[in-house]
Amino acid sequence: MLMTITELRAKIKSGRPTVGAWLQLPSPDVAEIIGRSGYDWAAVDMEHGAMSRNVLPDLFRALECGSTLPFVRVAEAGRENIKAALDSGARGLILPMIETAEQLELAMAWAHYPPKGCRGVGYCRANEHGRRFDEYLAESADIFMVAQIEHTKAVDNLEDILALPGLDAIMVGPYDLSGSMGITGQLNHPAMAEAMNRIAALAKHADVPMGTHVVVPDPAELNARIREGYLFLAYGIDAVFMNMAAPCPKY
């Protein structure tokens, strides 16, 4: 049975981590395999993945077959991208390159119908093309919102970002953050450690869950991140799962 966003929030609030997966391949078959693999949610990556809007409904249906919540990491936190993801049936949004509270507030407005926001109203796949219009209007108030912190500007403005009502979690993009600091890819650099410590301290003070992505699947690393206090965790990428299992054995 598909978890509700209310149940997902309650799980995190109780201190239990939520673990999802990451999809970059536009394949409903792959999405169904991931959806039936026990994850709470899976994020369809429209920023770096080979995704277009027309494949979203099939990917979401495939995930829901396995009781996995469909999330989307939009290509950019703009009106068109957010509306397309939600109209297709996304239950959560991961918003890249959030740098200010004003930017996040506007993205949240685009994600919600009036009077809470300014999302365009119409028949779409999310409301079964009008069949569940009234029911979806009520359900759509519950969108899981994640802001990606990926620039030094975001770190400078983080207290204001974390103070916005409706923010469910933040997720650091370490490679982009390091790039904005002029140390691209140097994730063990002292400046990166200082930035990460500041982000974690501010998030803890604001009582906003921290998220991270264990890109290369490793149960030991996943458990280590959980012990560090991360509560919103992405695990692996569909293509990385395949890369790790695909090499021909030596014979």
pLDDT tens, residue by residue, 95-127: 999 999 999 999 999 999 999 999 999 999 999
pLDDT value at 185 more than 90:
no
Contact between 26 and 49 (Cβ < 8 Å): yes
Judge whether residue 26 has pLDDT over 90: yes
> What number is the average pLDDT over the span 123-152?
96
Please, are residues 46 and 57 in contact by the beta-carbon 8 Å criterion? no
**pLDDT (0 to 100) of residue 187:** 84
pLDDT mean over 32-45: 98
What's the pLDDT at 101? 98
- The full DSSP string for the chain is -PPPHHHHHHHHHTT--EEEEEE-S--HHHHHHHHTTT-SEEEEETTTSS--GGGHHHHHHHHHHTT-EEEEE-SSSSHHHHHHHHHTT-SEEEES---SHHHHHHHHHHTS-TTT--PPP---GGGGGGTTHHHHHHHTT--EEEEEE-SHHHHHTHHHHHTSTT--EEEE-HHHHHHHTT-TT-TTSHHHHHHHHHHHHHHHHHT--EEEEE-S--HHHHHHHHHTT--EEEE--HHHHHHHH-SPPP-
pLDDT of residue 105: 98
Residue 87: count of CB within 10 angstroms of its CB: 19
pLDDT score, position 67: 96
Degrees to nearest 5, angle at CA 35 with 34 and 40: 105
| pLDDT at site 175 | 87
| pLDDT attached to residue 153 | 97
Residue 42: pLDDT band with limits 50, 70, 90: very high
| Cβ atoms of residues 99 and 113 within 8 Å | no
**What is the structure's pLDDT at 174?**
85
Above 90 in pLDDT, residue 2? no
pLDDT in tens, 233-249: 999 999 999 999 999 98
pLDDT band at 173 (very low <50, low <70, confident <90, very high): confident
Give me 34's structure tokens. Answer: 């991931």
Q: What is the Cα–Cα distance from 10 to 12, expressed in whole angstroms?
A: 5
The model carries a pTM of 0.95
Residues designated as active site: 48
Neighbours of 105 (CB within 10 A): 16
Q: So what's the pLDDT on residue 172?
A: 92
The pLDDT, as a whole number, for residue 1 is 82
If you average pLDDT over every residue of the chain, what do you get?
96
